[in-house]
Amino acid sequence: MTLDPDVQAILAELDERRERDREAFKKDSFDADKAALAAGPETAGLLNLMIRMTGAIHIVEVGTSMGYTALWLGEAARATGGHVIGTEALEAKCSIANDYIARAGLSDIVEVRPGDAKASVAAIEGPLDLVFIDAWKTDYIDFFDMLLPKMRLGGAIVADNITFPESNAEVMAEYMAHVRGKANVRSDLVTIGNGIEVSVRIA
């Protein structure tokens, strides 16, 4: 996918960092608090397309880490006249994310809020068009339940890491059962990247 050159340049830096962290993960020398945790380009690219296809304006990312996915979201949101609110609990990662976002020329589009994600999400007003959840997996259901009432009809909540890593299998199965049990939601698994569950509010 062809992106804005300034955004593409920053993503290239982050891709190198993500690759180093993936190797560290394989060698058990992985520190989640210092790693560039992020969905890969397949998932981020799909989110970028979803924003453009639907004309999404009000976009939220729960778990921004160092800003990789936020850059993809922001690049598309600039085209739709939209705005992205990200959340990141760790001050150091929030600072790094904001630096990358500024260097990519997206500071007027993407706002990363530091601190407790649940407090940040509670303060966000709807209606929302698109939400991407990539935070602690045991909190997914809580985030979904907080955000669903704020979604517009046709709005989507996308959750990452449904199929990988396998250590999350049990909690992700609980999440899928929960969202698919909602009468006002149509939800299905999309097998790209680490697996994403796309849940659309239909009523």
CB count in 10 Å sphere of residue 119:
11
Domains and CATH numbers, the chain: 5-201 (3.40.50.150)
Confidence of residue 18 (pLDDT cuts 50, 70, 90): confident
Instruction: Tell me if 126 sits within 8 A of 149, measured CB to CB.
Output: yes
CA distance 102 to 150: 28
CA distance 95 to 193: 26
Sheet with strand 110-114: strands edge to edge: 110-114, 83-88, 58-62, 128-133, 151-159, 196-201, 185-190
Q: For the segment 54-98, what is each residue's pLDDT rounded down to a tens digit?
A: 999 999 999 999 999 999 999 999 999 999 999 999 999 999 999
pLDDT of residue 34: 57
Residue 28 has pLDDT above 60, yes or no: yes
Average of per-residue pLDDT values in the chain: 93
Sign of the CA dihedral with 171 first, then 172, 173, and 179 last: positive
Instruction: Tell me if 121 sits within 8 A of 168, measured CB to CB.
Output: no
Confidence of residue 2 (pLDDT cuts 50, 70, 90): confident
The pTM (predicted TM-score) of the whole model is 0.92
Give the residue from 81, 104, 199 showing the smallest Cα distance to 145: 199
pLDDT of residue 17: 83
Instruction: Tell me if 38 sits within 8 A of 15, measured CB to CB.
Output: no
